[in-house]
């Protein structure tokens, strides 16, 4: 299969290929900035620290944060969500989550519920803006401390009205944590305007960096006051037995992945150059093309009619795994199963089988989509 | 040369970025731990003649800073 052209349609898991500027940024970082960032002030340590600071500035500007200090690097979105949540929750708190959440949101919540720390409720994340907001209003209670939800789920395309939810949370004194795993780089996000306390995002999906880093972009001081999740070396205040009190170092114990962070800065610049609207519109066009083709194919079931970057489908009588295996044999990469999102599958009506997910990226063409269509049609015809 | 102590490496780089943009040349340096209350720390070093201008500018931009070392002050 290595001889054949691979058609990659699993960009919701991680984007591929990466832009040339991202590859070059990693190479340059490894070759020229190989010191440990924030650990000493020799030339290579400083170059590494400058790579990281450049990314903080890029991300702060891209997501509307007040300053570079409000960008905290993590391993990935899951780690970011765990840190955001566990740093601010106290025993007896109530948390509100959406009905389309990934396990990165559900499992930390359920773990805290199991130990009796917190309680939680689920609001409807599908429907009209008015329906979603009314349900949230009805479910915020006296001890609700956090509302945590995916801006865009990983199986469908409708975005939550986060600006309105942010305003509601601020009005009711609820911290607003957004899982931006599927929206960062696809839709404009401004943590200040949208009143998002903590935006948790990956570097390696819609921002086109490499795997190895995620981040929390803070729209408020909530994380500054929060408990640490991991403690250790920070390169400063070394005599103190406690972590520093200031962002971002308070929550960045241990060595940061400088090459991944350098790649993320290059990835954000790539998205800026392409234009976030241009990328999104192109993905919507490809989605419409595939949706139109699949909707007339016998035995194909579709679950969402909103254009965007992902399309979930199933075949009558053929398991999702079988479909993805057959596509893989033709050099086409899609993702089958439950996509770590049983809540979303339940909401969409695909919980009994799971599904096959196609997800688009910035480098796809109509020709790619027509090739995918032909392969799916061949499976449909046995 | 004078050194202005900063809360962190990130703070030092933010200050450097702001001062560079203002045309005030500076470098990020490690501060001798015996000069600080908490051990390892960072600062920015610049010509003492620029001290007043640099501090005024950082204050105006809302960039947090610590104390000035050198130039007869500390």
High-pLDDT (> 90) share of chain A, %: 92
> What are the tens digits of pLDDT across the range A189-221?
999 999 999 999 999 999 999 999 999 999 999
Q: How far apart are CA A57 and CA A71, in angstroms?
A: 8
Is the pLDDT reported for residue A89 higher than 70? yes
pLDDT tens for residues A314-324? Answer: 999 999 999 99
- Return the residue of A nearest to B28 by Cα: A41
**With contacts defined as CB-CB under 8 Å, which chain B residues touch A235?**
9, 40
Query: How sure is the predictor about B72, in pLDDT bands with cuts at 50, 70 and 90?
Result: low
**DSSP symbol at B42:** E
Q: How far apart are CA A103 and CA A80, in angstroms?
A: 13
Confidence of residue A5 (pLDDT cuts 50, 70, 90): confident
Average pLDDT rounded to a whole number, residues A155-172 = 97
Reported as a pLDDT band with limits 50, 70 and 90, residue A4 is: low
Q: Check the CA dihedral A58-A26-A216-A73 and report its sign.
A: negative
Average pLDDT over all residues of chain A: 95
Q: What is the pLDDT of residues A357-380, one digit of tens each?
A: 999 999 999 999 999 999 999 988
Confidence of residue B38 (pLDDT cuts 50, 70, 90): confident
CA distances from A298 to A19, A303, A306 (A): 37, 15, 21
Given a cut of 70, whether residue A8 has pLDDT beyond it is: yes
- Among the listed ranges A91-105, A116-130, B26-40, which one has the minimum average pLDDT value? B26-40
What was the pLDDT predicted at A234?
Answer: 87
Give the max Cα distance, chain A: 70
Chain B interface test: which of A33, A43, A46, A65 (most B C-beta within 10 Å): A46
Mean pLDDT of A62-89: 97
Q: Is the peptide bond prior to A248 cis by the omega test (within 30 degrees of 0)?
A: yes
Mean pLDDT for A27-39 is 95
Backbone angles phi, psi at A148, to 5 degrees: -130, 125
**With a CB-CB cutoff of 8 Å, which residues 235-264 of chain A face chain B?**
235-240, 244, 246, 248-249
pLDDT tens digit string along A288-329? 999 999 999 999 999 999 999 999 999 999 999 999 999 999
pLDDT of the residue at A1: 43
Least confident of A114-118, A269-273, B48-52, B66-70: B66-70
- Residue from the list A68, A237, A239 with its beta carbon closest to the beta carbon of B10: A68
Q: What is the 3-state secondary structure (H, E, C) of A121-152?
A: EEECCCCCHHHHHHHHHHHCCCCEEEEEEECC
- Name the phi and psi angles at A74, rounded to 5: -135, 180
The residues in B 12-71 lying below 8 A from A, measured between CB atoms, are 13-14, 17, 28-30, 33, 38-42, 62
* Cα A321 to Cα A370: distance, rounded to the nearest angstrom: 21
Q: What percentage of residues in chain B have a pLDDT greater than 90?
A: 74
For the ranges A252-256, A280-284, B38-42, which has the lowest average pLDDT?
Answer: B38-42
Q: Rounded distance, CA A154 to CA A13, Å?
A: 9
CA A306/CA B42 separation, integer angstroms: 51
- Model-level pTM greater than 0.90? yes
User: Which residue from A minimizes the CA distance to B62?
Assistant: A67
């Amino acid at each position: 299969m290595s001889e054949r052209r691979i058609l990659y349609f699993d960009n919701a898991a991680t984007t591929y290929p990466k832009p040339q500027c991202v590859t070059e940024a990693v190479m340059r970082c490894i070759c020229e900035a190989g010191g440990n960032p924030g650990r000493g002030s020799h030339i290579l340590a400083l170059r590494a620290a400058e790579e990281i600071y450049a990314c903080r500035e890029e991300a702060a500007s891209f997501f509307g944060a007040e300053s570079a200090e409000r960008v905290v690097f993590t391993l990935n979105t899951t780690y970011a969500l765990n840190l955001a949540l566990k740093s601010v929750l106290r025993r007896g708190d109530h948390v509100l989550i959406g009905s389309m959440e990934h396990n990165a949101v559900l499992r930390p919540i359920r773990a805290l519920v199991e130990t009796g720390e917190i309680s939680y409720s689920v609001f409807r994340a599908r429907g009209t803006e008015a329906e979603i907001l009314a349900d949230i209003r009805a479910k915020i209670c006296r001890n609700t401390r956090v509302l945590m939800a995916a801006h865009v789920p990983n199986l469908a395309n409708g975005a939550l009205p986060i600006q309105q939810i942010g305003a509601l949370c601020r009005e009711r004194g609820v911290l607003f944590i957004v899982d931006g795993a599927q929206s960062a780089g696809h839709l404009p996000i401004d943590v200040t305007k949208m009143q998002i306390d903590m935006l948790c995002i990956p570097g390696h999906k819609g921002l086109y960096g490499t795997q190895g880093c995620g981040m929390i972009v803070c729209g408020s001081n909530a994380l500054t006051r929060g408990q640490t999740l991991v403690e250790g070396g920070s390169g400063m205040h070394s005599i103190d037995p406690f972590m520093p009190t200031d962002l971002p170092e308070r929550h960045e114990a241990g060595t940061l992945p400088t090459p991944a962070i350098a790649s993320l800065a290059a990835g954000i610049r790539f998205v800026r150059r392409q234009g976030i609207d241009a990328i999104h519109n192109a993905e919507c066009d490809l989605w419409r093309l595939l949706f139109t083709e699949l909707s007339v194919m016998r035995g194909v079931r579709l679950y969402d009619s909103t254009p965007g970057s992902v399309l979930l489908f199933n075949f009558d009588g053929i398991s999702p795994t079988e479909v993805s295996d057959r596509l893989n044999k033709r050099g086409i990469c899609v993702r089958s199963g439950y996509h770590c999102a049983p809540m979303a599958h339940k909401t969409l009506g695909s919980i009994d089988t799971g599904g096959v997910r196609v997800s688009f990226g910035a480098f796809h063409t109509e020709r790619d989509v027509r090739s995918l269509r032909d392969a799916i049609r061949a499976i449909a015809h046995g | 040369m004078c050194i202005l102590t900063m809360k962190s490496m990130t703070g030092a780089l933010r200050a450097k970025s702001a001062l560079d943009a203002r045309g005030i040349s500076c470098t990020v340096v490690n501060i001798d731990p015996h000069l600080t209350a908490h051990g390892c720390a960072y600062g920015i070093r610049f010509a003492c003649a620029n001290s007043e201008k640099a501090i005024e500018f950082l204050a105006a931009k809302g960039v947090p800073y610590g104390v000035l070392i050198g130039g007869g002050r500390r």
